[in-house]
Chains A and B, each alone.
Chain A
Amino acid sequence: MSTIQASPDYGMGMNPLLRHPGMVVHPPMLYLGFVGFIIPFAYAIATLIKGWNDDEWIRATRKWSLSAWLFLSIGLVLGSRWAYDVLGWGGYWGWDPVEVSALMPWLTGTAFLHSSLIQEKRGVFKHWNITLIILTFCLVIVGTFLTRSGMLSSVHAFSQSAIGPSFFVFTTFILIASLVLLGYRWSRLNTGFQIKSYFSRESFFLFNNLIFVAIFLICMVGVLFPIFSELVTGQQVTVGPPFYKKATGPLFAMLLLLMGAVPLSAWSASTGKSLGKNIWKPAIISLVFPVVTLALGTRDWGAVIALWVVFLSICVTLYDYGRSVKINSDTNQCSIWKSFWRMTSRNRRRYGAYIIHIGVALMGLGIIGIEFFQSQTQVTVKKNESIEISGYTLTYNDLKIDDTLEDRETARAEISITKGDREIGWLYPAREYYYMAQQSVTTPGLRSTLIDDLYIILVDWLPVSSEGATFKVYRNPLVIWLWIGTVVMVIGTMLALWPKHQRVKPEANL
């Protein structure tokens, strides 16, 4: 050990792209999500090693699994928010291989959370649950391996290292050892249980698992195919958003549909007739929303169906929640609020899940908004000239260049926004150039409302003589609901995780 005499006076500092508040929280959240899944995985492996056939490992790790899922969800959404604020692409999700690698364990983890519930309630799907948790844990390691080994071309590849080969050996060992163990104990996990109806809750959970796993496999194919193609044919290919959107879009819509139907289905005994009796009222109410969308001029049937599915899910969940509260209020002669509190606090897991589902549906609203209704334009304008987009008028007023800062030069435009005759605000899109890193960073001007986001990027500016600048403007309808939905989802998960209050009876012989 020796002290280096000549230390650099001024380092490069953090990568300018990562200087975002979300980046303080995003990595630890993803990390907690990833490592959290080791608890259910370890219990599952211990169960296999011991040769136990009970469901204790599921019960013991339920909260750990849910916590890991919560952290992973928060991590993914914070990453999306970072992309929205920093990358300047007008969107939050680019189906980049690193993004998809982080999504894959979330998909199988979510499938596991649902499927483990059936094992807990009915003592079935034991093989499947162990397979899912092995897969989830291995995907955590595979994702890290793919990201850090430099095998994937990604905008998120910030820290490649030489850890790749060791990680590959470790991942392969974990996967093979776990599967061999599962195969060895396979016969002990048989239950002989059979599903008796297409419309029972067990069936819906099975369909839910099928869809989650199908989306995961599509993601897996999308991420690995470029590597496979280069290995086999030497041909480099890119698998980008059009592939993922076409392949997974209908599946996500099916998931939302199932999410709507599940609360009204019963374990084992539900039939199509009984489900129909339960669901028709909220289904009719939910039709109001696509009808309004059509009346407002939308002719994209994909968007209309997607919106209907989202609102069906919300309506069914609120309907079921509401009627439980109402019946309890009538039966016990208490106020609606008291009844709501009692119902929610007595079964936190059920109603926590309902709130999570509402949060997910709201997130779906944000995704539909940007996928189906986004509009954009790129225009070069001179000072005091305007850009028109979806009823907004954006007037370019000024551009200020600040080169007095020590580490960077900043160009910041001033844009006034009017809707009709009314001025509704100002936006300041900027571009910064960092000298040391030789990197430019875009800071979009962003105005968010419950209806839409106006998102402006300063693309370029012309020499002073012409005083012009090029702007890229996006109108992203409903996107704020993605972030609101996340908050609702987090609240629901916290409720589901909240420990049950145990009343301790006083000892008789003290």
Chain B
Amino acid sequence: MSRYRNLIALLLGLSLLVFLTTAVIAQDERPVSDDEVNEIARELYCPICENVPLDVCPTQACEDWRELIREYISKGWSAEEIKDYFSAQYGWNVLSVPPRTGLNWIIYIIPPFIFVGGLVIIIVLIRKGKRNQQLLNANLGELDVPVTDVFLDRVDRDLKGEDQDG
């Protein structure tokens, strides 16, 4: 008999624990403002529309998804967790940028590679030109045309209508 009593006491205790935990979690759920929802929705795209960010999409479906974001924020989910959830549910196309993994690295590597590569080519070209110029002017000293002369000369040519650049 006492064994049953202990079992009942244990079950009651567990029920109380579950009830209290739920009550505490429910108390933790706080009101979430539209601004907090939009902060995350701005970085997501509507899964069904044509390239429309979730924060500005006027469809009922997007309204429901924004409410889902509100619910998860109130449950304490972080922005990353919510984005991961949407990405797992609807695919990577709901994210405003592809995650840094696999083939997606292409878009993160190519831009700096292009710029640095171009810069190196230009610097090599100019260095080559400078070296050749120095060889030619070896006996003439450094090339430094007085600024004022260059400028006055240009104004003069402007007035004569000769220097048509722009």
Chain B residues closer than 8 Å to A305, beta-carbon distance: none
Chain B residues closer than 8 Å to A271, beta-carbon distance: 143-144
| Pairwise interchain contact A221-B50, C-beta atoms closer than 8 A | no
Knowing A117-B165, A203-B126, A225-B107, say if A343 contacts B34 (CB, 8 Å): no
What is the bound-complex CA distance between A155 and B38, given in angstroms?
A: 20
Chain A residues closer than 8 Å to B95, beta-carbon distance: 237-238
A284 at the interface (CB under 8 A from B): no
Count residues of chain A with CB under 8 A from any CB of chain B.
Answer: 81
Chain B, 134-166, CB within 8 A of any chain A CB:
143-147, 150-152, 154-155, 158-161, 163-166
A171 at the interface (CB under 8 A from B): no
Chain B residues closer than 8 Å to A237, beta-carbon distance: 92-93, 95, 98, 104
| Pairwise interchain contact B107-A239, C-beta atoms closer than 8 A | yes
B122 at the interface (CB under 8 A from A): yes
Knowing A238-B93, A278-B147, say if A232 contacts B51 (CB, 8 Å): no
| Pairwise interchain contact B114-A238, C-beta atoms closer than 8 A | no
Knowing A343-B159, A349-B166, say if A210 contacts B103 (CB, 8 Å): no
| Pairwise interchain contact B145-A154, C-beta atoms closer than 8 A | no
Knowing A350-B164, A352-B166, say if A196 contacts B53 (CB, 8 Å): no
Choose among B97, B103, B164 the residue that contacts A242 (Cβ–Cβ < 8 A): B97
| Pairwise interchain contact B133-A379, C-beta atoms closer than 8 A | no
| Pairwise interchain contact B103-A347, C-beta atoms closer than 8 A | no
B13 at the interface (CB under 8 A from A): no
B1 at the interface (CB under 8 A from A): no
Count residues of chain B with CB under 8 A from any CB of chain A.
Answer: 57
* Chain A residue, CB-CB nearest to B136: A196
A153 at the interface (CB under 8 A from B): yes
Chain A residues closer than 8 Å to B119, beta-carbon distance: 210
A477 at the interface (CB under 8 A from B): no
Choose among A214, A239, A266, A346 the residue that contacts B158 (Cβ–Cβ < 8 A): A346
| Pairwise interchain contact B144-A273, C-beta atoms closer than 8 A | yes
Choose among B91, B96, B145 the residue that contacts A236 (Cβ–Cβ < 8 A): B91
Chain A, 50-87, CB within 8 A of any chain B CB:
87
| Pairwise interchain contact A378-B56, C-beta atoms closer than 8 A | no
What is the bound-complex CA distance between A240 and B130, given in angstroms?
A: 42
Chain B residues closer than 8 Å to A203, beta-carbon distance: 122, 126
What is the bound-complex CA distance between A194 and B134, given in angstroms?
A: 12
CB distance from A378 to the nearest CB of B (A): 4
Chain B residues closer than 8 Å to A175, beta-carbon distance: none
A144 at the interface (CB under 8 A from B): no
What is the bound-complex CA distance between A121 and B110, given in angstroms?
A: 34
| Pairwise interchain contact B145-A221, C-beta atoms closer than 8 A | no
Residues of chain B whose beta carbon lies under 8 Å from any beta carbon of chain A = 33-35, 38, 43, 45, 50-53, 56, 58, 91-98, 102-104, 106-107, 110-111, 114-115, 118-119, 122, 125-126, 128-130, 132-133, 143-147, 150-152, 154-155, 158-161, 163-166
Q: 13 A–B contact pairs at CB < 8 A?
A: A210-B115, A211-B115, A214-B118, A229-B103, A238-B94, A274-B147, A349-B164, A349-B165, A350-B158, A351-B166, A353-B165, A377-B34, A470-B34
Starting from the known contacts A194-B128, A206-B126, A274-B146, 4 additional A-B residue pairs (CB-CB under 8 Å) come to A210-B119, A214-B111, A239-B107, A347-B161
